[in-house]
Amino acid sequence: MAIPTLIISPPWFRGFDCVFEYFGVLVFLLIALFAYKATKMTNDQKTKWLFVSFLLIAASYFIKAFRNINLYFPFERQLLIGSLEVKYTSLAIINLVPIIDFTSRVLFLLGLVGVYFLITQSEEKKHMALMVYFITIVTYVSSIVPYVFHLTSAILLAEISYFYLKKTERKRLNQKLVLTAFLSLMMSQMLFLTFHPGLYVSAGILELFGFVLLLFSYVLVHFSVRELKIKKEK
Amino acid sequence: MMNRRSKRTQEEILYDILLTILNRSGRIKQTQLMTKANLSYKLMKNYLEDLVKKDYVDFIKKNDRKYLIITDKGRDFLDNLIKVKTFKETMGLD
């Protein structure tokens, strides 16, 4: 079986990367849920699209982690259907890897494009359909030339970071954290595209760092109430 | 107070009204609210009707004078508005 070509992670790191990715799922879901709550409260279209974008990214990480876990820790189960005994192995997922990878990558890139449109406040939303088409093409090409996906992600994250930096002139602590998170995620994508086992570990750690920073900035939002009231009272 | 350079959104006006009341020890006269929150009489009336209906603010009478007060529900709503505002700033959406 061609498992080694599907797995870049060194043996000792297998499983850790899945935990990191599941942590990322939690962070993106948490932020998406808050964006949903904000949308319900204010009927704001921007928070609505942030909810959708972050949900897509969370789904992408979830699918990726699920794929890796099944490949890293294969198991076999026997099912008894009537008098028929069916053996099921988690390695059967190998046949689905191209579809799983395609889905996970499309979701990730769509999520990033959503964030890009939000941060640049682009009025060109009418081009969204065209973007979806290009993302599908890029993802298809990346199934033949895998680094294309990581390169596209890195470019999108670099653009997001650049426009975010330009936009947030006041640069409060939570804005600095989000900016560093985007930059960490961008760097991790650049390391992923080398497909080198050693650099894969560094990329995983950088990605985790990005998730932690995003979580931290989210937590700080909840302290903003006290901070703002105190400032007003002075 | 929100940035006055561009037209305020409904959410920003609500935020300004509630925060203004809260910063006056949770009690204010309508005329003061108009000045502090930079609202026309008509606009203020419309928003206050809505806020009273939702139980975020209430009227009380003291020494023959009518005051506006912020309710507990209003305080919770303001807390959430502040969080949403900070969240939008944090994510670069404002």
Please name the amino acid found at residue A109. Answer: L
The mean predicted confidence, pLDDT, of chain B is 88
Tell me which residue in A31, A163, A221 faces B86 most closely, judged by beta carbons: A221
Q: Which two tokens stand for residue A100?
A: 């799983």
Residue A139 burial by Cβ neighbours in a 10 Å radius (0-12, 13-18, 19+)? buried
CATH class of the domain comprising A9-222: mainly alpha
Rounded CA-CA distance A208/A205 in Å is 5
Q: Which two tokens stand for residue A186?
A: 């961008």
Q: According to the model, what pLDDT value does residue A1 have?
A: 39
Phi, psi values for residue B7, rounded to 5°: -65, 135
Which SS3 state, helix, strand or coil, does residue B27 take?
A: strand
Domain that holds residue B49: 10-83
Q: How many Å is the maximal CA-CA distance in chain A?
A: 78
In chain B, what percentage of residues exceed pLDDT 70? 94
Pick from B73, B81, B93 the residue to mutate for testing the A interface (most A CBs within 10 Å): B93
Q: Which two tokens stand for residue A74?
A: 């294969």
- A141 Cβ neighbours under 8 A, 6+ residues apart: A148
CB A174 within 8 A of CB B90: yes
CATH number at residue B74: 1.10.10.10
- Average pLDDT of B19-37? 89
Residues with pLDDT less than 70, chain A: 1-5, 123-125, 170, 226-234
Residue B25 lies in a domain: yes
Residue B17 lies in a domain: yes
Residue B3 lies in a domain: no
Rounded CA-CA distance B11/B19 in Å is 12
Q: According to the model, what pLDDT value does residue A227 have?
A: 62
Rounded CA-CA distance B71/B73 in Å is 5
Q: According to the model, what pLDDT value does residue B76 have?
A: 92
First and final C-alpha spacing in chain B: 15
Residue B29 lies in a domain: yes
Q: According to the model, what pLDDT value does residue B88 have?
A: 92
Tokens 């009336």 — which residue? B45
A81-116 per-position pLDDT tens digit: 777 887 777 777 788 889 999 999 999 999 999 999
B92 at the A interface (CB within 8 A)? yes
First and final C-alpha spacing in chain A: 68
| Record: contact A175-B89, CB cut-off 8 A | yes
- Average pLDDT of B45-68? 91
Select from A7, A29, A24, A4 the least CA-distant residue to A206: A24
* B70 pLDDT more than 80: yes
Give how many domains chain B has, as a whole number. 1
Q: According to the model, what pLDDT value does residue B2 have?
A: 46
- CB within 8 Å of chain B, chain A residues 75-114: none
A163 at the B interface (CB within 8 A)? yes
Select from B14, B16, B18 the least CA-distant residue to B27: B18
The ipTM, to two decimals, is 0.85
Residue B62 lies in a domain: yes
Rounded-to-10 torsion of CA B30, B32, B38, B41: 30
Residue B38 lies in a domain: yes
CB A215 within 8 A of CB A179: no
Residue B58 lies in a domain: yes
Q: According to the model, what pLDDT value does residue B4 have?
A: 46
Domain ranges of chain A: 9-222
Tell me which residue in B84, B87, B92 faces A167 most closely, judged by beta carbons: B92
Tokens 């900070």 — which residue? B86
Residue B4 lies in a domain: no
A180-201 per-position pLDDT tens digit: 999 999 999 999 999 899 999 9
Set of chain A residues whose Cβ sits within 8 Å of the Cβ of B90: 172, 174-175, 178, 217-218, 220-221
Whole-model pTM: value is 0.87
Is the C-alpha dihedral spanning B3, B8, B9, B14 positive or negative? positive
